Amino acid sequence: MNNFDTWGNLRGEPLQHIEEAQGDNFIKVSIFQVGDLFAYGFQLKVGTVIRQQVANIGGAIYKSAGAAREAAGREVEAICAANKNSKKYFADFQNIRYNNYDLFGGVI
For 80-94, the pLDDT digits (tens) are 999 888 888 888 887
Mean pLDDT over each residue of the chain, to the nearest integer: 83
Q: Are 89 and 46 in contact, with CB atoms under 8 Å apart?
A: yes
Domain that holds residue 71: 16-96
- pTM of the entire structure? 0.80
Residue 3 lies in a domain: no
- Model pLDDT, residue 98: 62
**pLDDT confidence of residue 87:** 86
Say if 89 falls within a structural domain: yes
Of all residues in the chain, what percent carry a pLDDT higher than 70? 87
Say how many domains are in the chain.
1
Query: Is residue 8 assigned to a domain?
Result: no
pLDDT band at 43 (very low <50, low <70, confident <90, very high): very high
Rounded CA separation 58/104 (Å): 26
Q: Going by DSSP bridges, is the β-strand pair 16-22/25-34 parallel, antiparallel, or unpaired?
A: antiparallel
